[in-house]
Structure 1
Amino acid sequence: MTSPLYGQMMELPLLASSLLSHASRHFGDNEIVSRRIEGDIHRYTYRDCEKRAKQLAQALTALGVEQGERIGTLAWNGYRHLECYYGIAGMGAVCHTINPRLFPDQVAFIIDHADDSYVFFDMTFGPLVEIIAPQCPNVKGWIALGDAACIGEHLSNMSVPVLSYESLIGEHDGAYDWPMLDERQASFLCYTSGTTGNPKGALYSHRSTVLHAYGAALPDAMGASSSDAILPVVPMFHVNAWGIPHAAPLVGAKLVFPGKDLDGRSLYELMETEGVTYSAGVPTVWMSLLTYMKQQNVRFSTLTRTVIGGSACPPAMLRIFEEEYGVQVIHAWGMTEMSPLGTLSRLSFRQKQRSPEEQRHSLEKQGHAIFGVDMKVVGDDGRELPWDGTSFGDLYVRGPWVIDRYFRRHESPLVDGWFPTGDVATIDPDGFMQITDRSKDVIKSGGEWISSIDLENIAVSHPQVAEAACIACLHPKWTERPLIVAVLKPAATVTREELLAHFEGKVAKWWIPDDVVFAQELPHTATGKLQKVRLREQYRDYVLPSATENSV
């Protein structure tokens, strides 16, 4: 029997460090611009970035960090955070981006579960570090992203010992060669938002990171180019900013980082000053930007397209961007477990021949799978459903940047090699997927998940509450906000305000429900489970008190 004939190509591993090295070598003078925590604008080049990332790799090595160790970050979008991305992963450790918007106990749990040996943090998160540090005994050091003088000015009252990032890397010269790692080694670690129980970790590899960057940069995906100036509003702690910090250097695009200031005025001024052509973020931030522009009667001079994901883009927002401002909206869908990109709403040549109304209907869906992702919808009997746009079932995905299992969990969630997303969807004959429901009753507020189960448990912990359900209500700014439907115990006197106050200190402030309504009873199935479908139908037109406060 004749043996297979193998190709005679170079064996070079796909490594995250190669993305930055490529940008440094071939687009070395292209800019990376950041609005800093210090308040000023910082600018340097990809060549500068790689040198400082290598200085960081040297510093970590000097600290005794070994390959495979997890190094955490609590930081906004900025050049130092980008250096952490590449300095940590490039030397063989794992860059673990942590969402600071989670409740402090969850942040501490994530750091402990990941077994982070060091944590880098922006100075605005000093108070958070002060709270969680006693709960993280395995962290060897907390490193503030700033120089010694600035840290001394802003963090002088901290009881937790803090190292200076600039002092740390300043001891090294950047004369460092990125190691040739196994491309299957871990590169980045991102945790889910803990919608049910504790957050779960998705551990990406160098191979999956580079392949995801290639996929994201495709013309029918994000479509990044060296001629673009890209401003990622989506946080770098939110699933690696949807892969933009990897896709941008892959093509050599200019990067513009907004730091902590994500209000409409700050974003607009930065976009105009830096000639931003491309951006990405959740609907909430665009609501603020559009409101500011309408109030100031201003327009974009360079922005041509934006990716909107994290939660469904409201059709009205899509129309405003395209019809009033001439900005193309690319609707996107993905998950932490998918690195995260899965689908984007890019019309094919054939679709563009249809009427404007038909085109818009397609663009309002979550879109077409990009190469590297396969998907299907499955019925209750486990069989794949037809792509007819009406048959809805559980959405399954697979691909080289989809997880096989969660970090530190032996059991795999895969079903016959497919990952169950937890979403319910349809796929039309064009291959466009649309989310129709969620199999888990989580609430997505401003692109961030809120656990309805956790809120229900807190409500029921009140001594005068017999039973409670939490459902999502539509909100013009946050897309969804939680509503508590509560059944009180006999002779109970608790008020709406008192029950809402019961949530304070138990969850992050933005998790606290917007409203409470009291009911005589809740609908249940024959097995005693809450029928949230009926509740959502009952309160479909319910207007939350906060719903009229902020609208475009």
Structure 2
Amino acid sequence: MNPGNPQPYALTLDKFLSHAAKWHGGREVVTGTASARTSYAALSARSNRLSGALLALGLHPGEHLATLAWNTQAHMECWYAAMGVGVACHTLNPRLTADHLAKMVRQAEVRVLGASSGLAPLVEALVALCPTIGHVVLLDDGPASDAVPDVRGARLWHLDQLLAVHGAPAEWGAFDENMPAGLCFTSGTTGDPKGVTYTHRSNYLHTAHLLQADVMGLTCEDVVLVAVPMFHANGWGFPFAAPAVGAKMVLPGRDQDGASLARLIADEGVTVAAGVATVWLGLVDHLDAAGGELPSLKRLLLGGSAVPQALMDRLEQRLGVTVQTSWGMTELSPLGAMTPATAKTRVAVKSGRPPMGVDLLLTDEKGVALADQRGGEGRLRVKGGSVVERYFGQTEKATDAGGWFDTGDLATIDADGNLSITGRAKDLIKSGGEWINPAEIEAIVGGLPEVALAAVVGRAHEKWGERPVLIVEPRAGAEVSDEALLGALRGRVANWWLPDAIVRLAAMPLALTGKIDKKRLRAEHG
């Protein structure tokens, strides 16, 4: 007897926008910076024509389109245009230096770059370092003061010009669901950047995780402000989740100051907003100074650094909202856990529970599962259909023999299944939701002739979560000024990586192994 079977239906990401266009076609996508307003139906049609243009530029399924852009309608169009025809979207962080970005672009062999206006110097530097880039597409029109980048031998296009010349309908989703859909490099790893590839299937499943009632639980009635950058692990998945349910999307562009966000929330009737805590601190600071209320806003979804309890209380009380905290990683697509909107008690250190489809495991240092998974502290490992198995371009798996990915975090899980991150096995510093790699700062400062030893540790900061502190042991008889130390870093690391404080020690504390004792440094100077 033939047992029968369901229809083949590949889990490809174009289906989210196509669904929104067909069933929620009049719902809007609004970009704050340029006051641009479109509908899902119009965005889908324009994205599909852009797919044809990208194919005309010579892109093929399996290749990468890089984007260096803010949260705008045009950026979203690029995503669906690329992904719809099997081209992976490689998001780049404009806050990193050209040298950092060039390592990623060269590894991904990018030939086409889409960039927001206002980033001309970074675009020029990146193109100069990446000879494979043959086309640069300016995605949106900024202020008249924005310079047009000199892209040397590459062809420069404006998005509307590219559509006028090469725009054509294209067939979406005509490929396997395991094709790459996105590539995001995590700056939170030591050494060279590590790329995380998202497939259509993994992002489709991740979207299903987000839409569970105890996670984000979005509906077609919601108006969602996406203040988390789209270059941060696919904007936490909002560009997929919002159209999947037909929620109105509000994209802030490059203006994320408190006044701009308050105006967007009020004008567009935002009900749900997502971003790192520092963004919302700027919002409440503005409201306290200028006055005003935001009655439409019901929920804030926070990620990035741990949220101080005092800040979470202030946000809930001043805005009259429910705050949902979360934990995730680029390697998880990125959701690992989130507090439900219906949670009876809210504690900032709690990151919530994992959605169905993500599993957590606490182990000892050797990877052996703790006998009691509740209450004890262990090394956190994760498994699921949206969790990395192998980094981009690497042959070795990133998972253990049991298929578990080691996050490098230390954590506890309480009796109710709530996850709390208690520390990081690595020395990385998370500032305002962004990773800072101490090793890079230490290598530069340690190379100065006046410095014997250098170390960087994180110090708790009310606004940014953590900020770096530079600790140096000068060479015998040598003196080095703060300005000389900071000057050595400027231009070689991003400005926001620069240490907030500098400490000089006559002798750097060393552990028994002879390495710098960072545990002691954190206790004394963190």
Classify the TM-score, shorter chain.
over 0.9
Q: d(CA) in 2 for partners of 1:432 and 1:7?
A: 41
1:386 deviation in Å?
A: 5.0
1:177 deviation in Å?
A: 3.0
Whichever residue aligns with residue 314 of structure 2, its letter is I
Q: d(CA) in 1 for partners of 2:360 and 2:263?
A: 40
- 2:27/2:40 contact within 8 Å kept: yes
Partner of 1:206: 200
Normalising by structure 1, we get a TM-score of 0.91
1:123 aligned counterpart, secondary structure? coil
Partner of 1:139: 133
1:496 deviation in Å?
A: 2.4
CA-to-aligned-CA distance 1:203-246 (integer Å, 9 cap, x gap)? 11111111111111111111111100001101011111000000
Whichever residue aligns with residue 220 of structure 1, its letter is D
Partner of 2:7: 10
Partner of 2:174: 180
Q: d(CA) in 2 for partners of 1:6 and 1:16?
A: 30
Matches within 5 A, 1:474-489: 474-489=460-475
Partner of 2:480: 494
1:52 aligns with 2:46: yes
Matches within 5 A, 1:68-467: 68-146=62-140, 154-156=146-148, 158=150, 160=152, 161-171=155-165, 175-346=169-340, 352=344, 359-361=345-347, 364-386=349-371, 390-416=375-401, 417-467=403-453
Gaps of 5+ in 1: 353-358, 541-552
- Tell me which moved more, 9-18 or 339-348: 339-348
Partner of 2:495: 509
Distance 1:156 1:184, change over 3 A: closer
- 1:67/1:92 contact within 8 Å kept: yes
1:435 aligned counterpart, secondary structure? strand
2:346 aligned counterpart, secondary structure? helix
Matched residue pairs, number?
A: 523
- 2:349/2:421 contact within 8 Å kept: no
- 1:387/1:429 contact within 8 Å kept: no
Whichever residue aligns with residue 376 of structure 1, its letter is L
RMSD across aligned C-alpha pairs, in angstroms?
1.8
Q: d(CA) in 2 for partners of 1:532 and 1:114?
A: 35
CA-to-aligned-CA distance 1:342-392 (integer Å, 9 cap, x gap)? 1001277xx63xxxxxx233x541110111110111113432225565411
Q: d(CA) in 2 for partners of 1:523 and 1:240?
A: 41
1:288 aligned counterpart, secondary structure? helix
1:297 deviation in Å?
A: 2.4
1:493 aligned counterpart, secondary structure? coil
CA-to-aligned-CA distance 1:454-499 (integer Å, 9 cap, x gap)? 1111121111110111100111221111001111111112122322
Partner of 1:34: 31
Q: d(CA) in 2 for partners of 1:374 and 1:519?
A: 44
CA-to-aligned-CA distance 1:28-68 (integer Å, 9 cap, x gap)? 000000124xxx30101000000011011010121221111
Whichever residue aligns with residue 96 of structure 1, its letter is H
Q: d(CA) in 2 for partners of 1:158 and 1:64?
A: 22
- Tell me which moved more, 156-165 or 522-531: 156-165
CA-to-aligned-CA distance 1:405-445 (integer Å, 9 cap, x gap)? 00110011211210000111111111111111100000011
- 2:324/2:341 contact within 8 Å kept: no
Whichever residue aligns with residue 158 of structure 1, its letter is D
1:431 aligned counterpart, secondary structure? coil
Whichever residue aligns with residue 353 of structure 2, its letter is H
- 1:387/1:431 contact within 8 Å kept: no
Whichever residue aligns with residue 520 of structure 2, its letter is R
Q: d(CA) in 1 for partners of 2:312 and 2:430?
A: 19
- 1:189/1:202 contact within 8 Å kept: yes
Q: d(CA) in 1 for partners of 2:519 and 2:26?
A: 55
Partner of 2:522: 536
CA-to-aligned-CA distance 1:100-147 (integer Å, 9 cap, x gap)? 111210111111111111000011111101112111011121111137
- 1:94/1:186 contact within 8 Å kept: yes
Q: d(CA) in 2 for partners of 1:173 and 1:382?
A: 52
1:502 deviation in Å?
A: 2.0
Gaps of 5+ in 2: none
1:525 deviation in Å?
A: 1.9
Distance 1:173 1:69, change over 3 A: closer
Q: d(CA) in 2 for partners of 1:7 and 1:366?
A: 43
Identical residues among aligned pairs (%): 40
